[in-house]
Amino acid sequence: MAEQYASVIIDISHENVDRIFQYRLPPELLGEVRIGSQVCVPFGSGNRTRKGYVVDIGPTVDYDPEKVKTVISLVTGSVTADSRLLELAWWMKERYGSTMNQALRTVLPVKKQVRARNKQVVKSLVGAGTAQGRVILNDQQRRAVDRFCQTFGTPEQKPMLLYGITGSGKTEVYMEMIQHVLDRGRQVIVLIPEISLTYQTVMRFYRRFGERISVMHSRLSAGERWDQFERARRGETQVMIGARSALFTPFSDLGLIVMDEEHEGAYKSETTPRYHAREVAEQLCRMHGAAFVMGSATPSLEAYRLAEEGIYERMVLDRRAGAGSAPASVEIVDLRREMEEGNRSMFSRRLKELIADRLDRGEQTVLFLNRRGYSSFVSCRSCGEAIKCPHCDVTLTLHGRDRLVCHYCGYAVPMPKHCPSCGSPYLAGFGTGTQKLEEAAKALFPQARILRMDLDTTSRKGGHEAILSAFSKGEADILLGTQMIVKGHDFPGVTLVGVLAADLSLYAPDYRSAERTFQLLVQAAGRAGRGRKPGTAVIQTYVPDHYSIQAAARQDYEAFYRQEMGFRRLMGYPPACHMLSIQAAGKDEELLVHIMDAVSRAVQARFGAETAVIGPVPAPVYKVNDIYRKILYLKQENYDILIKIQKYVQNRWDETESCRRLTIQYDFS
Ligand code: ADP
Ligand code: ZN
Ligand code: ZN
């Protein structure tokens, strides 16, 4: 039998993934030692030994095999949280086509001592208070919880998709389930999109579970994160609430993962390995024998399809839970007609009338501009050229009155006096960002108190919370902003939601644009009428007949799902098909083009009979920071074949000298 070597990491942390040591596996341990196993190895001089974790096993070794030492023994006993994380890293590497190092860096925390002063901050984030009362669940909520409790801890356990309209009381259902799991001595991870990780949401959990809760969000320092993970490891907290990285909490006996707002784009990682939190959560639950519950008013097509196929169990909550609260009525306004009738402002006559009415009655309005970074750019009125970033293929964004900033690379210049292309002094700002919306609203309703929430106003620490809490305390009449205002917040005083231009998100260069538009519109409408007074939502659009807008107005998920699945099937897009995007990047454009053409030909020759190969095409933004980017798309129903293709490409890549001057990334969907 051939020799096998184990790669061992002695001190488990993010910093040490480059310090991996190789040992020979003795014959008696072959087949016993697995990825994640803890082993005892000789280390350093003399007869010293250390315990370490196995992160890789293979037939080759990077050193002289004569000098490689041998693993002493397998440490037996219970599987530790670290073993599970390493096993998970291995799974991620295989599934998403990263290196083991990249996967380890993703799952292992940065080891950093928290300074004493910061410890206080961590605690004050969850505030002080006492655990307190529960609501009485309605029959729909009860049914979901009962079903969960019946199957919890049994082998009959499918992941559960809680398909519940906004305000149907999903959070209350999660809390009952969490209680059930905690009562059995096991731990819970609650995933929430970063944007909803606000004081308001966290406080709801805190009131129920008190000190047993820990919170993980992106504003914590590395030391604070480490501290939170260590507390979880020591069993001092039993519930971790956080964005997708909370998945890697080292709980020893995880019993449940809850994933709220399952459809959110933020659950997909933007860095290699480009994992999706839903898939990783499912895998983690399989490993721990834990339950997995997802919730959404507008499930992703991926999740809903799995529910349709019976792979997920679907539970429905189709009524608002709060006393006297009912879904908003939705009106569509055709902006083409407004234009024909001479109204060129951002506000349709109907929306204007309703805002005025709310101001009269002292009720609140939310105005929503649904495109991230939809912002003003500057162009020349003489030659028509827009001012672009010299390093990227994007226009510069006007900040305030006299600064131009690139949102891709951070390049910033003062507003020029003359057009860089033709020298003309006639430069003008264009576009209707949130600042413009604010100015327009102020001009129309001078008496109104207006709050604006976007990247600019929330970039300060706590900016987010300050605006939300001022608005929920009634300190403003109108809250306006980008998508961040429609996510999950509960403002009982809001009776009107206006969507200024529903189609903006439809034209994104992405096969998911209709899905995103539908989700945003339903979520936006869901902000209206959460209290006792009925709510209205107004959707302004140039394409009133588009199915995503029609279905959103009727809040008809099923209708949208059927239409959209038809489109995905026709085009061979996920989830009807799997897709692998291979993106290569480099400063040398000629080399990039040459290599990507070669990759495309090679894949075509070897897999083209069964797999659709599209491209290479330039990335949506071709040049960023002077680096060019090209993408090759592969469509295939069988995920395993895509993994085969990825490995094939990576092997050829590694063998090709000139590829060292390029980078490559894989994205599976
Ligand atoms: P979702 O998470 O589905 O949007 P929430 O859990 O936030 O819904 O519930 C919406 C509102 O209804 C909250 O104010 C919540 O306290 C209230 N609520 C939820 N369930 C009940 C119930 N069974 N009885 C009374 N109020 C409820
Ligand atoms: Zn010009
Ligand atoms: Zn730039």
Residue of 485, 483, 504, 496 whose CA lies nearest to 537: 496
Q: Can you give the pLDDT at residue 115?
A: 66
Question: How large is the average pLDDT for residues 566-577?
Answer: 94
Query: Is the pLDDT at 642 greater than 50, yes or no?
Result: yes
pLDDT band at 126 (very low <50, low <70, confident <90, very high): very low
Question: How large is the average pLDDT for residues 474-502?
Answer: 86
Q: Can you give the pLDDT at residue 432?
A: 52
Report the b/e string of 618-635 with b at 16+ CB within 10 A: bbeebbbeebbbbbbbbb
The 10s digit of each residue's pLDDT in 499-521 is: 998 887 787 778 899 999 999 99
Q: 252 Cβ partners below 8 Å, 6+ apart?
A: 78, 80, 81, 187, 233, 235
- Residue the block writes with tokens 């649904």: 370
- Given a contact cutoff of 8 angstroms between Cβ atoms, the answer to whether 499 and 536 are in contact is no
| φ and ψ of 477, to 5 deg | -95, -35
Query: Is the pLDDT at 54 greater than 70, yes or no?
Result: yes
What is the rounded CA–CA span in Å between residue 567 and residue 596?
A: 29
Starting at the edge strand found earlier in the chain, the sheet holding 38-42 runs 20-24, 5-9, 49-58, 38-42, 73-74
What is the rounded CA–CA span in Å between residue 104 and residue 91?
A: 11
What CA–CA distances, in Å, run from 183 to 180, 188, 208, 630? 5, 11, 14, 52
Q: Given phi > 0 = left and psi -120 to 50 = alpha, else beta, which region is 167?
A: left
Query: Is the pLDDT at 1 greater than 70, yes or no?
Result: no
What is the rounded CA–CA span in Å between residue 587 and residue 93?
A: 27
Among all bound ligands, the one having the nearest atom to the CA of 407 is: 3
Ligand 1 first shell, C-beta below 6 A: 135-138, 141, 164, 166-172, 321-322, 490
* 3 state SS of 200: helix
The Å distance, Cα 625 to ligand 2 centre, comes to 24
Q: Can you give the pLDDT at residue 407?
A: 81
Residues lining ion ligand 2 (Cβ < 5 A) are 380, 382-383, 419, 421-422, 424
Query: Is the pLDDT at 656 greater than 50, yes or no?
Result: yes
- Given a contact cutoff of 8 angstroms between Cβ atoms, the answer to whether 396 and 405 are in contact is yes
- Residue the block writes with tokens 């029959």: 139
What is the rounded CA–CA span in Å between residue 645 and residue 603?
A: 7
Residue minimizing CA distance to atom 10 of ligand 1? 167
Q: Can you give the pLDDT at residue 495?
A: 93
pLDDT band at 52 (very low <50, low <70, confident <90, very high): very high
**Rg of the Cα atoms in the chain:** 27
Residue minimizing CA distance to atom 20 of ligand 1? 169
- Average pLDDT of the chain, as a whole number: 89
Q: Can you give the pLDDT at residue 122?
A: 42
DSSP state of 276: B
Share of the chain above pLDDT 70, in %: 93
Residue minimizing CA distance to atom 26 of ligand 1? 322
Question: How large is the average pLDDT for residues 331-355?
Answer: 92
Q: Can you give the pLDDT at residue 375?
A: 55
What CA–CA distances, in Å, run from 243 to 190, 195, 264, 277? 8, 9, 11, 9
Residues lining ion ligand 3 (Cβ < 5 A) are 389, 391-392, 406, 408-409, 411
For 335-405, strand residue ranges (E) read 364-368, 377-380, 397-399, 403-405
